[in-house]
Structure 1
């Protein structure tokens, strides 16, 4: 697979996602339902049905191998590796915080007052169910299958590991373009998830990693006021940056433990042979 085709498939995925969302809206109009942002079922279905159909269409057209196999679902799931993934997930959340806070930091260092808005998330039970399904189940499974199991593996046939990881991660980052502050964090996550996949040879670890990362987002979203009061209460002082440093250490240690297992080369070879 060429770099051009990789970005083309990503663009095609985004277009398919948009078209399915429009299809969901049309379906609601067919049954005379009001098309407004207050329609929680419309919003929820667009966040769950749209990605499922979009990814499955691309899998059907471009993926000529089975999505999973017995080797990846065997009972030898390593809880030791899972522990390292949890450590990496916590560290990555701390590292990403300054990337989310760039505009706030600029304002703070200019005026001495952080530009912080009190954010309140409405905990509607219907919305929470859809959010849970989309963020913790649909996205981790489908995005890891497409960008790591499929796209990264295909790129490895033609390019070296570094180029393949960067290209697949850039493509992964692009699908988060609707939230610009998340582009760089998504790129970093994509690189780490790719390394985990290549060194374990099992997509299930990347899916778990993705689910953990999204779960932190979900928890923070539900406790936005409390979290914002805590993290911005440091006013970007040494405690704030110490947390970022701790995050760097956690990610480094966790990734070092996973990559030091000396299984990378054999697993990569096996991945290349399957695609």
Structure 2
């Protein structure tokens, strides 16, 4: 678990740790976000897993299994328990953890914890009717919010569409297929045992999702639209109601 966390928080975060030690106020805002998000994404799912799963294990082993299954979905892909016996709630939480991934500049895949943090900060700004999104007393650039929204939409769309196609072709439950596609897109490697039984089309979809997850969302977006000429013309603005 320690090696998984070490590899998942990113090189810039480790630079802050090595440079500033325990002087957290001197850390970059990004490092603070990564460390805080990592702590929350370990403790909260571990507590949930402890409440809903592994009831047949002794208390100590149950706590260790819960903690391990909270750490591993965001980058490593190891499992110490039978994943098919975990509750539907725990499997759904695991899907979210696999899609979230680790930190930018780390060995982890996924859409990254900073993306999730930016989206939460933007939602908080909307709830409080603030114009700017904030994290740790710093204002976020609008481009970061826009990129985070694009990455989230891309990951959710590809994961759900891939799962829907596999479910239809193979006649399997959508939830189990979502587990496989989220694992592929997050380059995690966890599975409910479905992948060896899938046909050529379904395995090809997983291969494409793994390639997408390893290359990264923004890389593919920029590659797809880089040929479009930039323009400084702006259309007239008009308000639209959302929510």
Answer whether TM exceeds 0.5 for this pair.
no
Tell me which protein shows more helix as a share of its residues: 1
